[in-house]
Amino acid sequence: MPLEPPRSLSPSKVSSFRDCALAFRFNSIDHLPEEPTVWTVKGTLVHRALEELFWRCPRGMRSPAAAAAELDRAWSELKDDPEYLALHLTRDDADRFRSEAAALVQNYFALEDPNEITPVGIELMLEARVGSMRLRGIIDRLDRTPDGELVVIDYKTGRAPSQAYEQSKLIGVHIYALLCQEVLGQRPAQVKLLHLKEPVAITAEPSDQAVRGQRVKATAIWSAIEQACRNDDFRPRPSPLCNYCRFREFCPAFGGDPDQASVVLGATVGGAA
């Protein structure tokens, strides 16, 4: 039976389909509810603190102390958030969670000086029609250099990839570069992943050819998703990521039944865009 494709394609959905088509189906077609994890909620907290650092603090006042104050504010709000409460952290675990978030925020200052930055968009939603596909994404931060160039910034709170996987992790920000070209009419001079844990920055300079190539790749992935939906054929792709996949028990690669996932986990009514 044919399945309804998602209403749009985002960088995270592109990565999900490339990593494992079956996990993509569970998330983006069946809309099985997401379970909050320590890592995702901590990432939300850190992103919020850095977002507010640029919203609230003018140039010259974006200091480690100011970032710590924004983290305190975000932490106070997070403690009543349902996703955080669902983690059921002990007091010791909560203290460790808070300390690790604070370290990530402070590590940011080892990567760049925020007082030298002119952001033109924070948590910026961009959406464009590319062929038959609706491509959309939220850019953590979009900067404009003194020369008028655009720079895409994506904060990462997990461990930086090894050199062998570095380019694959840049796929998302390359899609952001494509969106900037489509929506704003300007190709970014740079796209950067700021990995706060190490800390380390991974930078790429997308050329016109690279942006055109990203358009071709995104269109090809969309065509593959449409075909998989028509044929109801989403095959698993076993990898080390399976050890962390919450759908593993329903995966045929591990003796599971995919049809049981919706029964056990329940689908979200209406799904997500």
Mean per-residue pLDDT, 218-227: 96
The chain-wide mean pLDDT, for the chain, equals 92
pLDDT at 269: 43
pLDDT the model gives residue 271 = 43
Are the beta carbons of 101 and 75 closer than 8 angstroms? yes
* Burial grade of 184 (CB within 10 A; 0-12, 13-18, 19 or more): middle
The mean per-residue pLDDT over the stretch 243-262 comes to 93
Q: What angle do CA 140, 142, 147 make, to 5 degrees?
A: 160
State pLDDT tens for residues 131-184.
889 999 999 999 999 999 999 999 999 888 776 555 656 777 789 999 999 999
- pLDDT of 40-73, one tens digit each? 999 999 999 999 999 999 999 999 999 999 999 9
Give residue 190's pLDDT.
95
Task: Return the structure tokens found at 133.
Answer: 């596909």
Specify the range with the lowest mean pLDDT, choosing from 73-82, 97-106, 170-179: 170-179
**Does residue 1 register a pLDDT over 90?**
no
Return the percentage of the chain with pLDDT > 70, whole number.
95
User: Which tokens is 268 given?
Assistant: 């979200």
The answer on pLDDT for 270 being more than 50 is no
Residue 233, C-beta contacts closer than 8 angstroms, at least 6 positions apart: 227
Pairing label, strands 150-156, 200-204: unpaired
